[in-house]
């Protein structure tokens, strides 16, 4: 702004007596100068790099199958976000559970592993500062223990996944600050960002992290038996994106859904989530159990309501079109949640590469 005002005074208005004659030419000069400056600034802005594909591994046992390894290689995924540990409340006690077992390192060569920690939001309700210190120490020990299974335990990034709320943000953010002090020097700390946290950073706060992973899914109400697809609905997602502030305070990566599940409602309430539900019907299939049966190893009784949800290729393309409008980081990672044999069957790597290209080419 200062340089423009200087030009106005010294170039466009060289002398008061000839101001009337010089104004038309001055306007042309101004627009030429402004247009040239805009082109120069655009040329100097570093272009966005092609979106780097990645995948999440969210099971408790890591042993990549040959088909999964080939799928990752075909996708060009060099980064694997791996859940190391879950933390939740058991009664009044904070307990770690579902610690990762590394059963086989085959397929991990050349891959960057990012340890992930899922923490239930309830853990941070009414937690004392002393308990936060204790939790950070215990989490660090668990991460080191699980990480010791890997031949190379020098992880460049650690990610923390918690659906924090305004009432728990202070405790969760304090925990992240303490974890940063415990993590290896130079390691990056990232946090997942849900859509409501993305749209309302003033209310929910911005985590003290180096990067955020924006989750473009779980847009519906999973507890509602009348919901159509709680994983992803474009109209519901649009409500979070519309009116959001321009650029989020953290560099953003992106997580997209490539999974299905069957939701079982009993007596009007969500009772069970059964993963990989493609065999039970197409997306948005709803049926009521007539005769007692087993589904995914779970006993279902007459009257239980089952809703099958998935994100098909058309929905994923719509998600990609939305993602292209988001203020993602110039070096954004596009991580697909999550990797297993069902994902490999239903989401060809070639198609997911095209999703990444759609996001990159339309940014």
| CB-CB neighbours of 314 under 10 Å | 9
| CB-CB neighbours of 241 under 10 Å | 15
Q: In this predicted structure, what is the pLDDT of residue 19?
A: 36
Evaluate if residue 2 carries a pLDDT over 60.
no
| Residue bearing tokens 């560099």 | 251
Evaluate if residue 197 carries a pLDDT over 50.
yes
Evaluate if residue 13 carries a pLDDT over 80.
no
Q: In this predicted structure, what is the pLDDT of residue 284?
A: 80
Classified as helix, coil or strand, 287 is: strand
Q: In this predicted structure, what is the pLDDT of residue 9?
A: 30
Evaluate if residue 39 carries a pLDDT over 70.
no
Write out the residue limits of the CATH 3.20.20.80 domain(s) in the chain. 52-258+311-361
Classified as helix, coil or strand, 48 is: coil
pLDDT digits (tens, 9 = 90+) for 83-124: 999 999 999 899 998 999 999 999 999 999 999 999 999 999
CA 341 to chain centroid, in Å, comes to 21
Distance from C-alpha of 143 to C-alpha of 85, rounded to nearest angstrom = 8
Distance from C-alpha of 17 to C-alpha of 213, rounded to nearest angstrom = 61
Evaluate if residue 32 carries a pLDDT over 80.
no
pLDDT digits (tens, 9 = 90+) for 275-317: 988 767 777 889 999 999 999 899 999 999 999 999 999 999 9
pLDDT above 70 coverage of the chain, percent: 87
First to last CA, the chain: 27
Q: Do strands 93-97 and 52-57 pair parallel, antiparallel, or not at all (unpaired)?
A: unpaired
Structure tokens, 45: 């802005």
Would you place residue 48 in the very low, low, confident or very high pLDDT band (cuts 50, 70, 90)? low
- Mean pLDDT calculated for residue range 252-270: 96
Q: Which helix (H) or strand (E) holds 119?
A: strand 112-119
- Mean pLDDT calculated for residue range 169-175: 98
**What is the CATH number assigned to the segment(s) 52-258+311-361?**
3.20.20.80
Evaluate if residue 1 carries a pLDDT over 80.
no
Q: Please work out, in degrees rounded to the nearest 5, the angle formed at the alpha carbon of residue 66 by the alpha carbons of 64 and 71.
A: 85
């Amino acid at each position: 702004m200062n340089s423009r005002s200087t030009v106005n005074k010294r170039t466009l208005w060289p002398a008061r007596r000839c101001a009337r004659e010089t104004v038309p030419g001055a306007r042309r000069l101004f627009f030429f100068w402004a247009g040239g400056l805009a082109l120069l600034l655009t040329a100097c802005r570093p272009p966005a790099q092609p979106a780097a594909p990645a995948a999440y591994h969210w099971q408790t046992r890591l042993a990549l199958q040959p088909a999964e390894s080939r799928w990752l290689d075909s996708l060009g995924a060099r980064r694997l976000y791996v859940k190391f540990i879950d933390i939740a409340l058991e009664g009044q006690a904070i307990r770690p559970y579902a610690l990762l077992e590394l059963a086989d390192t085959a397929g991990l060569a050349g891959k960057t592993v990012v340890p992930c920690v899922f923490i239930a939001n309830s853990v941070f309700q009414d937690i004392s500062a002393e308990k936060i210190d204790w939790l950070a120490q215990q989490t660090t020990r668990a991460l080191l223990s699980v990480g010791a299974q890997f031949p190379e335990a020098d992880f460049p990034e650690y990610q923390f996944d918690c659906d924090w709320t305004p009432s728990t943000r202070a405790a969760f953010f304090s925990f992240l600050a303490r974890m940063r002090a415990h993590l290896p020097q130079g390691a990056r700390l990232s946090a997942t960002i849900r859509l409501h946290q993305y749209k309302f950073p003033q209310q929910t706060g911005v985590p003290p992290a180096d990067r955020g992973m924006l989750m473009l899914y779980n847009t519906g109400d999973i507890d509602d038996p009348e919901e159509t697809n709680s994983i992803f609905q474009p109209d519901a997602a649009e409500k979070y994106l519309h009116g959001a502030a321009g650029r989020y305070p953290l560099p953003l990566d992106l997580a997209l859904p490539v999974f299905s599940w069957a939701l079982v409602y009993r007596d009007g309430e969500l009772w069970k989530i059964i993963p990989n539900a493609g065999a039970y019907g197409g997306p948005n299939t709803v049926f009521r159990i007539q005769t007692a049966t087993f589904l995914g190893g779970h006993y279902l009784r007459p009257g239980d309501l089952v809703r099958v949800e998935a994100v098909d290729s058309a929905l994923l393309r719509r998600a990609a079109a939305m993602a292209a409008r988001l203020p993602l980081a110039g070096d954004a990672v596009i991580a697909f949640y999550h990797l297993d044999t069902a994902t490999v069957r239903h989401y060809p790597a070639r198609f997911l590469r095209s999703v990444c290209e759609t996001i990159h080419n339309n940014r």
